[in-house]
A and B are shown apart, each in its own frame.
Chain A
Amino acid sequence: MNADDLLKPTDAGLYCEAGGFYVDPWRPVPRAVVTHAHADHACWGCGRYLGSEEGERVLRVRMGAEAVIDALPYGEPIDVNGVRVSLHPAGHILGSAQVRLEHRGRVWVVSGDYKVEPDATCSPFEPVRCDVFVTESTFGLPIYRWPSQASVFDEINAWWRANRDAGRASLLLAYALGKSQRLLSGLDPSIGPIYTHGAVEKLTRAYREGGVDLPPTSYAGAATRGKSWAGAMIVAPPSAQGTPWARKFAPLSTGIASGWMTIRGTRRRKAADRGFVLSDHVDWPGLLGAVEATGARRVLVTHGYTAVVVRYLRERGVEAEVLATRYVGEGDAQEGAEAEAMEADEAEAAESGEAIG
């Protein structure tokens, strides 16, 4: 990193000294600009948040009713202590944004988590020209090339249909925020009824209120005792796997939707019946394409296969370096990040229990 960088890593997160704010801090700070509402990017307890208008409801669910949130429409710049700040769609989840910072002729873009394939539950990723581009590298290996989501939804619906015909329930495990709603948007409700776990239901409501069209769902906890679940689809966070809560749907088939399902060993290790390759993160070709589209002369690589992406970009003549965040570690520390994210879901599910308001 250089002395005059617009953003600098600190103990609390990426700090913009000129503007006096942090981007996606991991400790409570007075002023935070957040890319999206996932726990590892939106830290609870900050004095003031700036986030996208599209994501306001979802951020509110996560940050609490008391949080002070300034909502900014995509593409509309505001001035924060002389730094021009604007938010642009990142295509990751509802309201996810890339943060564009402009100060004294320099333009930085922090993309947070992003994905380039459009989906029905959020605004599609828009490349933003910049000098310095901060990119994630969760799936920064060339083995990660996503199949089209249409083909994955076909697979999921075919699995659901086959389960229904065999008199089984289908339990589909995915992150409560983002992935679950994207899956819901791809399910074919003519196959059977769709239920959700408490953690999923709450956020699904926020999505609907935000204008996202999703098929009708019922909260699984509200069902009467002794109900037969044959033919039903239940969407739940990964932490639900193997719990007594999940067993009540038996006989059931369990599926996991995640980019990690690309690898056979991971699929088998998770001991689910089926693994579907669906990710809200950018894949390898998507990452390279996004970097190129920004025209950035310098690329800072965060969480994931940082070392791999940095080396690859450098070999192709792009100035690239690892941006020290709390994810820095070996190339595949993102498995840890995944585990953390799952734990966050778990903690949330435990807090909210089955009871949601």
Chain B
Amino acid sequence: MRDFARLYAALDETTRTGEKVEALTRYFEQAPPADAAWAVYFLIGRKPRQVVPSRKIREWAAAEAGVPDWLFQESYDAVGDVAETVALLLPPSEHSTDRPLAEWVEERLLPLRGADEEAQRAAMLDAWRAMDRPQQFVWNKLISGSFRVGVSQQLVTRALAKVGGVDAAVVAHRLMGDWEPGPRFLERLLAADATDADHSRPYPFCLAYGVEGDVAALGPVDDWVAEWKWDGIRSQLIRRGGDTFLWSRGEELVTDRYPEIATVGAMLPEGTAIDGEILPYRDGVPLPFAQLQRRIGRKAVGKAILAEVPVVLIAYDLMEAGGRDLRAEPFEARRARLAEVVARVGRPDRLVLSPTVVADSWEAMAAARDEARSRQAEGLMLKRKDSPYHVGRKRGDWWKWKVDPFTVDAVLTAAQRGSGKRASLYTDYTFSVWDDDRRLVPFAKAYSGLTDAEIARVDAFIRRNMVEKFGPVRTVKPELVFELAFEGIQRSPRHKSGIAVRFPRILRWRDDKPAEEADTLDSIRGMLPD
């Protein structure tokens, strides 16, 4: 635990990638395999289901610290993180623990799940009293299932590859899917031998950056395949060992949630892995993303919802066929084989080959892209014909080319403090537009898009111009105008404005514009699809 807490501090202390990898490498080299396995598990963002509710952790910590509830809340407002607030408030500890991380997790943390409340409380107090402040902080993070430390999976992968002398792509692949942290896992993770037994394991997804500048700079249009960029759930459908696995991009196994796709999986030949997108789809036409949201997170899918929101898998790529890894082959060849697989399955209501967009010039391609919205697509994906299937996000071979977003000038009317890095700054904003009676009606929330300097200025404005408090929300004098961008727009009876937008974010601060000149609900309604 001591070394792991030190690793956390070291990773937290630096913004330099090189130093982070170095700290990770140092840790993995000396940590016992069981500890290292748990460290990997937490560092790449896996978490055991929450064992103790945050509410309880707060309560016990406040009592231990002799701090009344309201004062805990004030402290939390300044810190923005329960685990950290607790560590800062607990009475100074004289102790520090030498016990290994794996022991803390396996013998102390995991057994807490399902234990009765009194036993949980006693165990938490024991743990806190045995640890110094940095250890308490890390422990709280592990317990509350919110362990994030500003290292990407890629950095962890790089460090592991370095320690094991294994190719980083192999490590990345072995980190996918379901695995139990333990000494044996670490052994397999760093094994030189590339044959892997786990047949559920998905491949790391190949991701794309957005096109920057002039698309013509990508070279001859003939070198590229264009497909629609769909707004669904990026997924991987795998058939191996007589079993079907459907993985979401968040590496969640969602096979049971989409039975229509699982049945297609059973029709695939042994040793197949397809990269695709789950889309709500009816009569050959995609439905709005809002429809799919009704199925996300729903574990039990009843007949009604299956009938109302049927889904398909739009097949983009074929990473494995006949049990062989095809990722190094050119995209064109992989796509040809994919077309064959899709045709053999013969269920166009369940598995659809991603349609391509053919154009003989970039101008024609741009014209096609303009149609994206009417097809419920976000734009185009451009893939170089001879590109391999990369691990992770790489620049050069695959590009997202989205249609320009909708934009609206809206007034800042309420704000809330952020959390984590933005704790104690007002960074979560509510924006409003003028309704038909010239009243401001909330229309979207947005968190990102401003520079740190702008955030500081907006924060100062909010503090000086608060009108009312509603819990953590402060209403603000309607004065500042921002240009917001968003991707999709839908009617929504659940929103006061009657409108729901996708991915709203701040494009820029319109300090040239008074609030009176912000957009109206009426003009926004004009953007609704027919």
Contact = CB atoms under 8 A, between A and B. Distances in A.
Contact of B80 (A142, A265, A267, A331): A265
Contact of B75 (A141, A266, A268, A330): A141
Nearest to A143: B88
Interface string B445-488: 00000001000100010011010000000000000000000000
A315 B88 CA distance: 22
Given A331-B74, A336-B460, A339-B460, A143 B421 contact: no
Given A265-B81, A271-B15, A273-B14, A142 B75 contact: yes
Contacts of A273: 13-16
B89 interface: yes
Interface string B64-77: 01011011001101
Q: Is the interface of B mostly helix, strand, loop or mixed?
A: helix
B425 A142 contact: no
A215 to B, nearest CB: 25
B84 A263 contact: yes
Interface residues of B, number: 36
A331 to B, nearest CB: 7
Contacts of A292: none
A333 B463 contact: yes
B32 interface: no
A329 B461 CA distance: 13
B71 A308 contact: yes
A311 interface: yes
B71 A268 contact: no
Given A273-B14, A336-B463, A262 B88 contact: yes
Interface in B62-103: 65, 67-68, 70-71, 74-75, 77-81, 84-85, 88-89, 92
Contacts of A41: none
Contact of B79 (A143, A268, A311): A143
A143 B73 CA distance: 11
Contacts of A332: 77-78, 424
B463 A264 contact: no
A255 B12 CA distance: 14
B421 A269 contact: yes
Contacts of A267: 12
B493 interface: no
A129 interface: no
Contact of A269 (B14, B452, B464): B452
Q: Which of A266, A269, A329, A331 has the most CB of B within 10 A?
A: A269
Interface string A261-293: 011111111010110000000000000000000
Contact of A145 (B12, B14, B92, B463): B92
A131 B84 CA distance: 38
Interface in A184-201: none
B71 A265 contact: no
Contacts of B78: 141, 143, 263, 332
Contacts of A271: 15, 452
Nearest to B464: A329
B420 interface: yes
A246 to B, nearest CB: 15
A68 B412 CA distance: 49
Contacts of A339: 456, 460
A265 B420 contact: yes
A142 B70 CA distance: 12
B5 to A, nearest CB: 13
Nearest to B137: A264
Interface residues of A, number: 28
Given A143-B79, A262-B88, A336-B463, A269 B67 contact: no
B107 to A, nearest CB: 28
A232 to B, nearest CB: 19
A330 B419 CA distance: 18
Nearest to A145: B92
Contacts of A264: 12, 79, 81, 84
A213 interface: no
B424 A266 contact: yes
A265 B424 contact: yes
Q: Which of A141, A266, A268, A330 has the most CB of B within 10 A?
A: A141
Interface in A124-152: 141-143, 145
A75 B76 CA distance: 41
B282 interface: no
A219 interface: no
Q: Which of A262, A266, A339 has the most CB of B within 10 A?
A: A266
B423 A263 contact: yes
A160 interface: no
A230 to B, nearest CB: 17
B70 A311 contact: yes
Interface in A327-344: 329-333, 335-336, 339
Contacts of B15: 271, 273
A312 interface: yes
A311 B452 CA distance: 33
B422 interface: yes
Contacts of B464: 329
Given A143-B89, A145-B92, A339-B456, A268 B74 contact: no
A308 B70 CA distance: 9
A201 to B, nearest CB: 28
B423 to A, nearest CB: 4
B265 to A, nearest CB: 43
A21 interface: no
B12 A269 contact: no
A268 B79 CA distance: 12
The list of the 8 closest CB pairs from A to B, nearest first, reads: A265-B423, A143-B88, A143-B75, A268-B421, A308-B74, A265-B421, A141-B75, A265-B80
24 contacts: A141-B71, A141-B78, A143-B78, A145-B88, A262-B88, A264-B12, A265-B80, A265-B423, A265-B424, A266-B423, A266-B424, A268-B12, A269-B421, A271-B15, A273-B13, A274-B13, A308-B74, A315-B68, A329-B463, A331-B77, A332-B77, A332-B78, A339-B456, A339-B460
Interface of B: 12-16, 65, 67-68, 70-71, 74-75, 77-81, 84-85, 88-89, 92, 150, 419-425, 452, 456, 460, 463-464, 466
Given A268-B421, A269-B422, 12 more contacts: A141-B78, A142-B89, A143-B75, A143-B78, A143-B85, A143-B88, A264-B12, A264-B81, A265-B80, A271-B15, A315-B68, A329-B464
